[in-house]
Amino acid sequence: QGENLLYCFEVASAQPALTQVTQCRTEGSTRGLAAVPRLALDVMACEVLRVLQLTDTALVPVSYLVPRKSVQEFHEDLFPDCIGTVPATEAQAWWAGDSQQVGRVSLHPARRPTETFTSPVIASTRHTDPNTGHTDPDTGHTDTDRTSGYSSPSSLASPGSVATSLSASTGPSSGFASSPSQKSLQSILGPSSRFRHTQGRVLHRNSHLTNLRGLSLTTPGECDGFCANRRRVALPLLSAGGQIAVLELSKPGRLPDTAVPTIQNGVAVADLSWDPFDPQRLAVAGEDAKIRLWRIPEGGLQETLQEPEAVLQGHTEKVYSIRFHPVASDLLVSSSYDMTVRIWELSAGREVLCLQGHTDQIFSMAWSPDGKKLATVSKDGRIRLYEPRHSPQPQQEGPGPEGGRGARLVWVCGGDYLLVSGFDSRSERRILLYRAQALPEGPLSVLGLDVAPSTLLPFYDEDTGVVFLTGKGDTRVFLYEVTPEPPYFLECNSFTSNEPHKGFLFLPKTACEVREVEFA
């Protein structure tokens, strides 16, 4: 009383005994609460509970509905038979030991009971039978055509159902009638994510880098558009010669209007990536089929860099994607329009393995968290899994997304599963979950999200199991917790930004403010 929050919990006999299902914020403060009997619920609208809230000035109904695709039919699992309104026995019989139970009645509108009960009027002088001295009990039960003390609302009982109602109510009216077991609200609504209330928040402007000029927005779809590590961010520029701006995250604020020092890559940038173990080394894939390695001086760029530390040559066509190895230093993998995937040893500056088996453009590739396997998804509609230390041929293949417009993949659930984002034949964006050990069996689960032109870029946080999905030009970031058991995808709060983003990246976990419970 006096509060304006209404909590709904599910009670179970096993642990956890109490699970919060939902909470509702009411307009006025509560002075009293009452639940409406189940016979009065709008069962065809899947209403499972209705509470009346008394405020200072009003009586407010609060309705709880379970979302169901079909509301034209009666859902037996939501509405088991409930206790009826006709008493099972009389007072004297109860004292004498009769323990019959009130008969259960159906909530189905066509099978509503018509039998009602009106208690006898207690006059000032009791009508007693002079022979027995007992009150006549027969006045308690009324025939079915008498007026009812409490009946179900007429709006719920369908017309022309009197015959079926009567025949339905001639069954056993005492004892526990069989009814489907009361399913818990949680099992009806389905499981929910522990992180469903995650809130995305734009940090204060004093942490922003502003006045960015001349950004290149034409990097291939296989590229994230820019790259960042815990210290700095690298941004391809539009100007000739494949220039790349390198900005220090420790120096936020407005950039000067004058030109900033850049890396002169020499050719247009196709993809770029920071070395995860060396925050000063940047690998840049160019449109001339070469990969250049650049070293950023301690403290950031003070002058224009023109000479790369090393140049890797071997691809015969444009390179469009590069990825550093997550476990070993000096290992880099690249994919190219020559339909090969090559693994490079940077300390020696040479190619050590060329992976075969692709028949079309390679959309995306990803190392497994333990670094043993490499997964790729290709325009030929196939997902391939390689073990580079054992063979240059794919270890297994499986069907990928249908549409040839683009796809991304990321390892999830401890490296046992692969999450692929792509399109279907009608250009709907969707995410697919595969068991890494069973690619030929196809996806375990497919979830359609929306229709949009850009490929969804997935980012996975392995500590919470939450995947973030957004595309270039989108304003919305989808969040799902990924679980290895059905329903596989548990929706969390999505985040919407004020303007479309041209790129979207996650910093290493060491950048998180853990005291604010920030996890990404």
In the chain, where the domains are located: 396-501
Residue at token pair 């604010």: 516
pLDDT tens-digit series, residues 468-481: 999 988 999 999 99
pLDDT for 318 equals: 92
Is the pLDDT at 421 greater than 90? The verdict is: yes
pLDDT for 119 equals: 84
pLDDT for 260 equals: 87
Given a contact cutoff of 8 angstroms between Cβ atoms, the answer to whether 482 and 417 are in contact is yes
- From residue 352, alpha-carbon distances to 290, 331, 333, 346, 360 in Å are 16, 10, 10, 10, 22
Given a contact cutoff of 8 angstroms between Cβ atoms, the answer to whether 118 and 146 are in contact is yes
Q: Looking at 5-93, which runs of residues are DSSP E strands?
A: 5-11, 18-25, 32-35, 47-54, 59-65, 82-83
Residue at token pair 């402007």: 205
Whether a cis peptide bond, with omega within 30° of 0, leads into 484 is no
* Least confident segment among 141-150, 204-213, 291-300, 451-460: 141-150
Is the pLDDT at 311 greater than 90? The verdict is: yes
pLDDT for 120 equals: 82
Q: Compare 126 and 357 and report the one with higher pLDDT.
A: 357
pLDDT band, residue 219 (cuts 50/70/90): confident
Residue 81: HSE in the Cβ half-sphere, 13 Å Cα cutoff: 20
pLDDT for 372 equals: 95
pLDDT for 49 equals: 92
d(CA 138, CA 122): 14
pLDDT for 50 equals: 92
pLDDT for 172 equals: 36
d(CA 408, CA 223): 10
pLDDT tens-digit series, residues 330-365: 999 999 999 999 999 999 999 999 999 999 999 999
pLDDT band, residue 168 (cuts 50/70/90): very low
- From residue 194, alpha-carbon distances to 8, 21, 263, 480, 493 in Å are 16, 12, 44, 11, 11
pLDDT for 433 equals: 96
- pTM equals 0.65
Is the pLDDT at 272 greater than 70? The verdict is: yes
Of the candidates 82, 66, 58, 56, the residue with the CA atom closest to the CA atom of residue 2? 56
Given a contact cutoff of 8 angstroms between Cβ atoms, the answer to whether 447 and 434 are in contact is no
DSSP state of 163: H
pLDDT for 150 equals: 39
DSSP state of 121: P
pLDDT for 163 equals: 33
pLDDT band, residue 137 (cuts 50/70/90): very low
pLDDT for 187 equals: 64
d(CA 464, CA 518): 12
Is the pLDDT at 429 greater than 90? The verdict is: yes
Is the pLDDT at 443 greater than 90? The verdict is: yes
- What are the residues whose beta carbons fall under 8 Å from the beta carbon of 132, sequence distance 6 or more? none
* Least confident segment among 124-128, 273-277, 379-383: 124-128
Is the pLDDT at 461 greater than 80? The verdict is: yes
pLDDT for 159 equals: 35
pLDDT band, residue 185 (cuts 50/70/90): low
Average predicted confidence (pLDDT) for the chain: 85
Q: Looking at 36-173, which runs of residues are DSSP E strands?
A: 47-54, 59-65, 82-83, 104-105
d(CA 115, CA 228): 73
Q: Compare 508 and 138 and report the one with higher pLDDT.
A: 508
Q: What is the mean pLDDT of residues 235-240?
A: 89
d(CA 384, CA 187): 37
pLDDT for 125 equals: 52
* Least confident segment among 31-40, 219-228, 300-309, 375-384: 219-228
Dihedral angle, C-alpha 393, 397, 403, 408, nearest 10 °: -70
pLDDT for 327 equals: 96
Q: What is the mean pLDDT of residues 244-267?
A: 91
- Six-digit token pair at 316? 């015969």
pLDDT for 164 equals: 31
pLDDT tens-digit series, residues 79-96: 899 998 899 998 989 999
Is the pLDDT at 155 greater than 70? The verdict is: no
- From residue 488, alpha-carbon distances to 18, 183, 191, 433 in Å are 24, 21, 10, 8
